[in-house]
Amino acid sequence: MKFEVLTIFPEVIECYLKHGVVGRALNKGIAEVKVYNLRDFTTDRHRKVDDYPYGGGAGMVMQIEPFYNALRHIKSDGIPRKVILLSPQGRRFSQRIAKEFYKEEKTLTLICGRYEGIDERIKAFVDEEISIGDYVLSGGELAALVIIDSVVRLIPGALGDELSAEEDSFMKGFLDYPHYTRPEEFEGMRVPDILLSGDHKKIALWRKKEALRNTLKNRPDLLKNLSAEDMKILKELCSEINK
């Protein structure tokens, strides 16, 4: 899986790519991220990327030319890619969309805006606009990293042998179950006995039940299209809660 990021702050992207799951995946060569500094695609001596807005108003607007020049340079290899603009106006990103991007197997070219935004004519060169949530960030870089991180985790081998993306409970559409590690007791709070039992079948059932409990409590909207087994567990849970 290949990613390309267009940004005026390449260091922000590069720093994150040195660590953790994404860092290891890049070192293993199962993913690749190329970061392009928009200022390298300017033509003036001050490497300007922004200008005053037509129509007046506060703030600056990012000029189209550096983006256009960068995209023309990148696209000259003729490889199919999906050009994504990160902005609050976009389609809301989710695990489902991460899987969609992964399965498409196209290079994802991520355009990161700053200031008050990018000249609207950028839309002529964008395939899709994506939002990671209903809030305004200072730039698109964090959103680009969210997409890179969530898609890289789906690549076989990215999570190492002991974990798999399929086990991500969000992959199954639920919130996660509680996690514990040593010590067995901390400030009077004990690890649930079931997790110390060594009975893997019962532990798996407990984890499913707790994932359903968390989902019922915090994201009941995710409780749809349940399997008969999950529905049975949910019913048990509801009768426990209503006792």
Ligand X SMILES: Nc1nonc1C(=O)NCC1CCCCC1
**Count of residues engaged in binding ligand X, rule: CB under 6 A:** 15
Choice from 69, 95, 131, 164 touching ligand X (CB under 6 A): 131
d(CA 211, CA 214): 5
Residue 66 as a binder of ligand X (CB under 6 A): the answer is: no
Q: What amino acid occupies position 25?
A: A
**Dihedral sign for Cα atoms in the order 225, 169, 160, 83:** positive
Nearer to ligand X, 85 or 159 (CB): 85
Nearer to ligand X, 124 or 136 (CB): 136
Residue 106 structure tokens: 């196209």
Choice from 140, 151, 208, 215 touching ligand X (CB under 6 A): 140
Residue 38 as a binder of ligand X (CB under 6 A): the answer is: no
The active-site residue out of 81, 114, 153, 213 is: 153
Residue 53 as a binder of ligand X (CB under 6 A): the answer is: no
Residue 58 as a binder of ligand X (CB under 6 A): the answer is: no
Choice from 97, 106, 139, 173 touching ligand X (CB under 6 A): 139
Choice from 17, 38, 143, 212 touching ligand X (CB under 6 A): 143
Reduced to 3 states (helix: H, G, I; strand: E, B; else coil), residue 87 is strand
d(CA 115, CA 240): 52
Nearer to ligand X, 86 or 165 (CB): 86
Residue 86 as a binder of ligand X (CB under 6 A): the answer is: yes
116 has catalytic annotation:
yes
d(CA 129, CA 91): 6
88 has catalytic annotation:
yes
Which residue in the shown chain puts its C-beta closest to ligand X?
113
The active-site residue out of 88, 129, 149, 207 is: 88
Reduced to 3 states (helix: H, G, I; strand: E, B; else coil), residue 175 is coil
Choice from 58, 136, 189, 228 touching ligand X (CB under 6 A): 136
Residue 137 as a binder of ligand X (CB under 6 A): the answer is: yes
| Element housing 222 (H / E) | none
Name the nearest CA neighbour of 156 among 105, 89, 231, 221.
105
Q: Strand 185-186 and strand 189-190: pairing?
A: antiparallel
SS (HEC) of 118-143? ECHHHHHHCCEEEECCCCCCCCCHHH
Residues that bind ligand X (CB under 6 A): 86-88, 113-114, 117, 131-133, 135-137, 139-140, 143
Active site residues per annotation = 88, 116, 153, 168
